[in-house]
Amino acid sequence: DTDNRLLYWEFPGKQRAARKGDWKCVTIHPNQPLELYNLKEDPEETNNLAKKYPRRVKEFDEEMQRMHILPPIGLNQENNSEVYM
């Protein structure tokens, strides 16, 4: 059932988004709280429901943290090889 599958995106500037079913969670600015939208009821994403559904936001945040891919961090000091996480 693809309606329950989490879809995740990352964009330049640390913008992130995830969607699961009718719900979408986004962050436009890295130092601001996540925003939550019900796309079935609000396809224009005008009504941020994050304060009304903090548990759902927390679940999205945990999944987004798990799926986040860190950029290369440079050279490994011990063996001079590139390190990717």
Q: What is the CATH number of the domain that holds 44?
A: 3.30.1120.10
Q: Would residue 81 count as lying in a domain? A: no
> Total domain count for the chain?
1
Say what the pTM is: 0.75
Domain containing residue 63? 2-67
List, for residues 28-83, the tens digit of each pLDDT value: 887 889 999 999 999 999 999 999 999 999 999 999 988 877 656 554 445 444 44
Q: Would residue 78 count as lying in a domain? A: no
Q: Would residue 84 count as lying in a domain? A: no
Q: Report the distance separating Cα 52 and Cα 11, nearest Å.
A: 26
Q: Would residue 83 count as lying in a domain? A: no
Q: Compute CA distances 27 → 20, 31, 80, 81, 82, whole Å.
A: 15, 9, 35, 33, 29
**Helix, strand or coil, per DSSP, at residue 17:** strand
**Helix, strand or coil, per DSSP, at residue 63:** helix
